[in-house]
């Protein structure tokens, strides 16, 4: 059965006030100092009352903030006060409201994961970056992969597999030698981790409307965990993954160094 892709494009025109700002910081000394300074300069309201949420930290904090506020309609702007900052803008304290007014806003759609474990419990979770399945022991995983109800790989023996969004394609997916996807691409990356058989299979690009089903074979001998970003469920039997058609998050980047430019730079990095 075929599933049409979501009707909403990845990028939409939005207009927001920048009067009321909510600052959220990680617990590092650098981030907490920035929180105090920016709060004094611009004020700091509760996130539910804010026009824009400003995250101060690294990519981990940005993912946490997106998860906490996804679907709420509030744009999130990150400034790098952490070790990794691919999702963050450069930290500068001056003219913040002017930067926010000029920033590009990108719509991101998370993956919805439904995982059934060996007790029969069903777990639901969302992933902004990726859903990953990983072997739990020294035994390689044996997986059967279906797309839109049709079996595409009867057996994949591997350390695991990743389904990544464009937003997550430069994270774990890239480390596993998966493709980098432009943020506007209506695609998902299906990337194996250390595939043993078929050894030459390097993964696939799927339309973002595809439904991916992964069945764990020999699950007692070869247990597998499933993670949606940072939420992990162990000893799963079956995992279904699709892009959400209803939930969206809004992320802001400075117009002179937007996400497309960052991804192009990453593509040509050597």
- Confirm whether residue 101 is marked as ligand binding: no
Percent of the chain with pLDDT over 90: 81
8 Å CB contact between 145 and 161? yes
Whether residues 77 and 117 fall in one domain: no
Q: Is 164 among the domain residues?
A: yes
Distance CA 30, CA 56 (A): 9
Q: How many domains does the chain have?
A: 2
Check whether 29 is labelled as a binding-site residue: no
What CATH number does residue 123 fall under?
A: 2.60.200.30
Whether residue 11 is contained in a domain is answered as no
Q: What is the DSSP letter of 268?
A: T
Q: Is residue 1 part of a domain?
A: no
The 10s digit of each residue's pLDDT in 61-112 is 999 999 999 999 999 999 999 877 788 999 999 999 999 999 999 899 999 9
Asked if 249 and 167 touch (Cβ cutoff 8 Å), the reply is: no
59 is catalytic: yes
Greater confidence (259 vs 184) lies with 184
Q: Can you give the CATH number for the domain in which 54 is found?
A: 3.40.50.10330
Residue 7 is assigned to a structural domain of this protein: no
| 94 plus 115 within the same structural domain | no
Spot the catalytic one: 19, 27, 59, 118.
Answer: 59
Can you tell me whether residue 122 is helix, strand or coil?
strand
Whether 247 contacts 70, CB under 8 Å: yes
2 domain residue, yes or no: no
């Amino acid at each position: 059965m075929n599933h049409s892709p979501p009707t909403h494009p990845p990028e939409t025109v939005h207009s927001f006030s920048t009067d009321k700002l909510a600052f959220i910081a990680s617990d590092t000394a650098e981030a907490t100092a920035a929180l105090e300074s920016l709060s004094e300069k611009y004020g700091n309201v509760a996130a539910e009352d804010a026009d824009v949420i400003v995250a101060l930290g690294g990519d981990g904090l940005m993912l946490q903030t997106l998860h906490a506020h996804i679907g709420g309609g509030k744009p999130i702007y990150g400034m790098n006060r952490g070790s990794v900052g691919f999702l963050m803008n450069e930290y500068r304290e001056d003219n913040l409201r002017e930067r926010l007014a000029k920033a590009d806003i990108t719509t991101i759609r998370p993956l919805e994961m439904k995982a059934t474990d060996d007790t029969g419990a069903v777990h639901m979770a969302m992933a902004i970056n990726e859903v990953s399945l990983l072997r739990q022991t020294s035994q390689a995983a044996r997986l059967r992969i279906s797309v839109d109800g049709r079996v595409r790989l009867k057996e994949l023996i591997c350390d695991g597999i990743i389904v990544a969004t464009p937003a997550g394609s430069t994270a774990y997916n890239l480390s596993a030698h998966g493709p980098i996807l432009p943020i506007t691409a209506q695609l998902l990356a299906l990337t194996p981790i250390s595939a043993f058989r078929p050894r030459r299979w390097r993964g696939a690009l799927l339309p973002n409307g595809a439904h991916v089903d992964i069945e764990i074979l020999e699950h007692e001998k070869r247990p597998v965990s499933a993670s949606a970003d940072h939420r992990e469920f162990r000893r799963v039997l079956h995992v279904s993954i699709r892009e959400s058609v209803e939930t969206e998050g809004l992320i802001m980047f400075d117009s002179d160094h937007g996400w497309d430019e960052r991804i192009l730079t990453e593509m040509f990095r050597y």
